[in-house]
């Protein structure tokens, strides 16, 4: 991330052109429009990788079709004590308990202020400050949104990270509804607002959130965040400590099946009327295709990028275009939900 941040702050046109040549892949079949935004391809950078927007000017050159900054909170915060990020190599997974470490909404707004328009949509993922009581969560999210409203192309309300105490309780409708309503009331320009949900919710809880999203006229749902489940993991120890004793959320391959199942549930419930950003365990074109045909319009990667490197984006895009040809689809939109009966 340090190299990306430096290049974003000190743009070298020759180096950027080389990155674009090496990592980008363009095909008109992969282009789509959502929420009035033009996505050159469906592969985006997931929140958590660029919390403070330090690489905002570089992500498009690595081939991403969009990038989501954050999670950012109204108050700057250091996050949880180190160590807080671990690779679970046998599982192709990551355990993280970062705790929304970031410089705060005002700092991100200052960084984005005055920048040239990006060639890809830029989303901003909003979290609750750890010091803010749950009863004041709505005001905390609102304060961040008002600072950043002009600088994000879309916004995601993160109520599903397992690494901020009690944050996941905000997924309960009685807490979530006033947060979403407050943001929509402060949204005169109609910026797309989505909510990011946990994979560990019961199916009936997911249905309730989807109903709320429709009532509040949200732009979509991000499915899903990391999981607290440890079932089926091959990794037994992190260093000399049992994995079962380590707190945090798991991302990567162990999340793949459940996140796809959640995408399918949402798509079935809404008959494809609520766009879904699918995330969780995407490390190749087959996994990306599976999520798209289950109902995701857009996808995000994080753990796959860590394990496979930036060449993964181009590899997935070429693979998706081949899948489209194989299934006689002329656009990525035609493939969305095609495996859902």
**Cβ contact 65:44 at 8 Å:** yes
Q: What pLDDT shows up at residue 2?
A: 62
For residue 261, what is the domain's CATH number? 3.20.20.70
Query: In the numeric block, which tokens belong to residue 103?
Result: 């410089």
Quick check: is 341 in a domain? Answer: no
Quick check: is 235 in a domain? Answer: yes
Q: What pLDDT shows up at residue 16?
A: 84
Say how far apart CA 222 and CA 300 lie, in whole Å.
9
Q: Which residue in the block uniquely carries the two structure tokens 């494809």?
A: 272
Q: What pLDDT shows up at residue 15?
A: 86
Quick check: is 55 in a domain? Answer: yes
Residues taking part in catalysis: 161
**Cβ contact 250:229 at 8 Å:** yes
Q: What pLDDT shows up at residue 1?
A: 65
Alpha-carbon separation of residue 91 from 9, 102, 234 (angstroms)? 35, 28, 6
Quick check: is 340 in a domain? Answer: no
DSSP 266: H
Note down the domain range covering 118.
Answer: 2-335
Q: Which residue in the block uniquely carries the two structure tokens 């753990």?
A: 303
Say how far apart CA 181 and CA 35 lie, in whole Å.
19
C-alpha torsion 253→259→261→267, nearest 10: -140
Quick check: is 86 in a domain? Answer: yes
Sheet holding 85-88, edge to edge: 85-88, 93-96, 249-252
Quick check: is 158 in a domain? Answer: yes
- The percent helix, strand, coil of the chain (3-state, each to 5) is 40, 20, 40
From its phi and psi, is residue 205 left (phi > 0), alpha (psi between -120 and 50) or beta? alpha
Tell me the pTM: 0.96
Can you point out the beta strands (E) in the chain?
32-34, 37-39, 43-45, 66-72, 85-88, 93-96, 122-126, 154-158, 193-197, 220-223, 237-238, 241-242, 249-252, 276-279, 298-301
Quick check: is 29 in a domain? Answer: yes
Say how far apart CA 286 and CA 289 lie, in whole Å.
5
Quick check: is 91 in a domain? Answer: yes
pLDDT tens for the chain, 341 residues long, are 666 877 777 777 788 888 899 999 999 999 999 999 999 999 999 999 999 999 999 999 999 999 999 999 999 999 999 999 999 999 999 999 999 999 999 999 999 998 877 899 999 999 999 999 999 999 999 999 999 999 999 999 999 999 999 999 999 999 999 999 999 999 999 999 999 999 999 999 999 999 999 999 999 999 999 999 999 999 999 888 999 889 999 999 999 999 999 999 999 999 999 999 999 999 999 999 999 999 999 999 999 999 999 999 999 999 999 999 999 999 999 999 999 97
Count how many domains the chain has: 1
């Amino acid at each position: 991330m340090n190299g990306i941040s430096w290049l974003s702050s000190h743009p070298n046109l020759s180096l950027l052109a080389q990155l674009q040549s090496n990592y980008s892949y363009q095909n008109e079949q992969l282009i789509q429009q959502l929420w009035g935004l033009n996505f050159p391809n469906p592969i985006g950078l997931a929140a958590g990788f660029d919390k403070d927007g330090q690489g905002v000017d570089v992500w498009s050159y690595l081939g991403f079709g969009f990038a989501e900054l954050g999670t950012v909170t109204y108050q700057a915060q250091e996050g949880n004590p180190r160590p807080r990020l671990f690779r679970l190599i046998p599982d192709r997974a990551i355990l993280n308990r970062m705790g929304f470490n970031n410089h705060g909404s005002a700092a991100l707004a200052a960084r984005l202020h005055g920048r040239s328009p990006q060639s890809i949509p830029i989303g901003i993922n909003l979290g609750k400050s750890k010091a803010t009581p749950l009863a004041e969560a709505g005001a905390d999210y609102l304060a961040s949104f008002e600072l950043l409203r002009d600088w994000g192309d879309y916004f995601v309300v993160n109520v599903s990270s397992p690494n901020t105490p009690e944050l996941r309780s905000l997924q309960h409708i009685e807490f979530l509804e006033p947060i979403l309503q407050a943001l929509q009331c402060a949204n005169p320009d109609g910026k797309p607002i989505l909510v990011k949900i946990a994979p560990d919710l019961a199916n009936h809880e997911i249905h309730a959130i989807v109903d709320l999203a429709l009532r509040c006229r949200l732009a979509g749902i991000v499915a899903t965040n990391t999981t607290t489940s440890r079932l089926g993991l091959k990794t037994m120890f992190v260093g000399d400590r049992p994995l079962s004793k380590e707190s945090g959320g798991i991302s990567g391959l162990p999340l793949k099946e459940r996140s796809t199942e959640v995408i399918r549930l949402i798509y079935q419930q809404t008959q494809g009327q609520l766009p879904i950003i699918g995330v969780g365990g995407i490390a190749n074109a087959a996994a990306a295709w599976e999520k798209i045909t289950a109902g995701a319009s857009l996808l995000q990667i994080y753990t796959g990028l860590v394990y496979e490197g930036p060449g993964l984006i181009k590899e997935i895009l070429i693979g998706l275009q081949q899948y489209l040809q194989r299934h006689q689809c002329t656009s990525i939109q035609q493939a969305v939900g095609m495996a859902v009966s």
